[in-house]
Amino acid sequence: MQPTPDTHGPFGRVVTAPEDSPTPASSTWVTWLLFMVPLCIAELRDLSEPDIERLSTWAADLIASHGDDAQYGGHHQRSARTAIAQGLAVLARADGGVTALGIHACMRPHVGAPAPHPPAPPLRNTRNEMSESTKSTGRTTPKRLLTQNSDLRRIGVFNWTLPAFVIEMPDGSHFNVCPQAGVCAQLCYARVGTYRFKNVRAAHIRNLLLCRDNPEEFERQMTEELRHKRYVDKWIRVHDSGEFFSDEYLLTWMRIMRSSPGVRFYCYTKEISRFKRLVVNDAPDNFLWCYSLGGKEDHLIDVSTERHADVFPDVEALIAADYTDQTESDLLSVLSDSPLVGIPANRIPHLLKKQGSETFGSLQRARDEKLRAKKAVAGQKFTLAH
C-alpha cells in the first residue's frame, strides 16, 4: 500500500455501502461503524507504512473471521467490535478504500465511490450509555448515575465510571484519578478511542466532580438510585475506568454498599494498600474485589493466594500461564474458582504493539526492577561521596 495524501481529510470518507454490496450488516451495526470508523481513521493516521502493511493483513482476517461475532454476539463480540472498526480504518487507506459490513470507507476520491448518504442519526455510545434527559431549559441532566452497555446487560451488570489517570479539570487544574497506576497508564484502554469522545469525557468528569467535590450529595444520589427495583440482585461494577482515589471516596462507597443490601458490587483495583487498610478486615457482605496488576503497588499482592487479574496479549497466552479466561463474563473476575484471572488485552493496535508479548504484571516487575537498580546505583554513589 503506497502512502498517499488523505484528501478526504483526517476522518476520511465513511458512507453506507450500496445495498447489493458484499457482507451486508444490520442497521445498528452500520450506524455504529459510520460513527466509529472515521474516529479510528483519525487515530491511526500516524502509523508507519510497515505497521499499516501488517495491520492490513490482520484486519482482513479479522473481518472475515469475526464479522459475525461483532454484529450478533458470541465469545469474541467485545474485542471484535472495536478491532473491526480499526481494521476498516486501516483498509480505508488502500486505493479505492474498503467496502465491507455495510459501509464504504476511503481516504481519497476514486472511481466507483458510493454517493453520499444523508447524515446518520445520532448514536449512543455503546460502551458508556449515559442516560440523559433534556429539560425544558435546554440543559441536559443525568437521569441515572449508573450505566450499562450491551455486554454488561447480558450478564446483569451496571457500571459507575470515572475518567482514567491524570486529567485536566474544567478549572484548568489537574487531578490523578488513579494514584497507584503504573505501567497500566501507558496501556490503558480508557485513555483512547471512545473514552476520548467529548460527550463521554464530559460525563466522566461530571461523575468525578460529583463524588470528589460533593461526596455527601454523591452518596445520597447513589443510595437513592440503588433503591430502584431494576438493581435488585444485580451487580454494580465500580469503575470501568478510574479508581478509589482517596480514603474518603472508598469509605463513601462502602457506606453506599451497606445501605444497598439487595445489590452486589465488585471492582478491579490497583489501590492495594488502601484496600488492605480499609476493606480487607471490614468488607461489606455484598462486595467482592480483584486486585489488578500493572500498578505501583503490585509488590503488595501475594499472587500465589490473593485474587488478582493480569492483562495478557491474548487468550492463548493467559491459558498457557494457567490463568482463568474472564472473556465470557466480567463477573468471573470475582467469581471464578481460581484466584488467577486473565484478561486478554483490548484489540487496540498501537497498545497491543506497545505491550508485545508481555503482561501488565511482567512489565511492572521489569519497571520496578529498573527503579531498584537505579536507586542502588544512586545509593552507592552517595556512600562513595561520603
Binding residues vs ligand SF4 (CB under 6 A): 164-165, 178, 181, 184-185, 188, 190, 241-243, 270
- We find the least distance from the C-beta atom of residue 270 to ligand SF4, in angstroms, to be 5
- We find the least distance from the C-beta atom of residue 275 to ligand SF4, in angstroms, to be 13
Q: How far is CA 41 from each of CA 10, 34, 45, 193, 353, rounded to the nearest angstrom?
A: 7, 11, 6, 11, 17
Give whichever of 66 and 270 is closer to ligand SF4, judged by the CB atom.
Answer: 270
Bridge partners of 269, per DSSP, are 291
Give whichever of 59 and 190 is closer to ligand SF4, judged by the CB atom.
Answer: 190
- We find the least distance from the C-beta atom of residue 284 to ligand SF4, in angstroms, to be 22
* Three cell numbers, residue 104: 464504504
Give whichever of 146 and 190 is closer to ligand SF4, judged by the CB atom.
Answer: 190
* Three cell numbers, residue 69: 461475532
Number of other CB atoms surrounding residue 151 within 10 Å: 17
* Three cell numbers, residue 165: 489517570
Give whichever of 6 and 310 is closer to ligand SF4, judged by the CB atom.
Answer: 310
Give whichever of 30 and 187 is closer to ligand SF4, judged by the CB atom.
Answer: 187
Burial class (CB in 10 A: 0-12, 13-18, 19+), 145: buried
Number of other CB atoms surrounding residue 335 within 10 Å: 15
Give whichever of 16 and 269 is closer to ligand SF4, judged by the CB atom.
Answer: 269
* Angle between helical axes of 247-258 and 198-213 (0-180°, round to 10): 90
Between CA 271 and CA 295 the distance in angstroms is: 8
Give whichever of 40 and 345 is closer to ligand SF4, judged by the CB atom.
Answer: 345
- We find the least distance from the C-beta atom of residue 1 to ligand SF4, in angstroms, to be 33
- We find the least distance from the C-beta atom of residue 171 to ligand SF4, in angstroms, to be 22
- We find the least distance from the C-beta atom of residue 180 to ligand SF4, in angstroms, to be 7
Sequence-separated (6 or more) residues with CB below 8 Å from residue 5: 108
* Three cell numbers, residue 237: 461494577
* Three cell numbers, residue 103: 459501509
- We find the least distance from the C-beta atom of residue 117 to ligand SF4, in angstroms, to be 36
- We find the least distance from the C-beta atom of residue 74 to ligand SF4, in angstroms, to be 26
Burial class (CB in 10 A: 0-12, 13-18, 19+), 144: middle
Contact 246, 213 (CB under 8 A): no
- We find the least distance from the C-beta atom of residue 224 to ligand SF4, in angstroms, to be 27
Give whichever of 190 and 250 is closer to ligand SF4, judged by the CB atom.
Answer: 190
Contact 208, 242 (CB under 8 A): yes
Residue in the block written with cell 489488578? 292
Q: In what order do the strands lie in the sheet with 157-160?
A: 157-160, 235-238, 264-269, 287-292, 308-312, 340-344, 324-325
Burial class (CB in 10 A: 0-12, 13-18, 19+), 199: middle
Phi, psi of 329 (to 5 degrees): -150, 130
* Angle between helical axes of 247-258 and 215-226 (0-180°, round to 10): 30
Give whichever of 35 and 268 is closer to ligand SF4, judged by the CB atom.
Answer: 268
- We find the least distance from the C-beta atom of residue 32 to ligand SF4, in angstroms, to be 24
Give whichever of 39 and 345 is closer to ligand SF4, judged by the CB atom.
Answer: 345
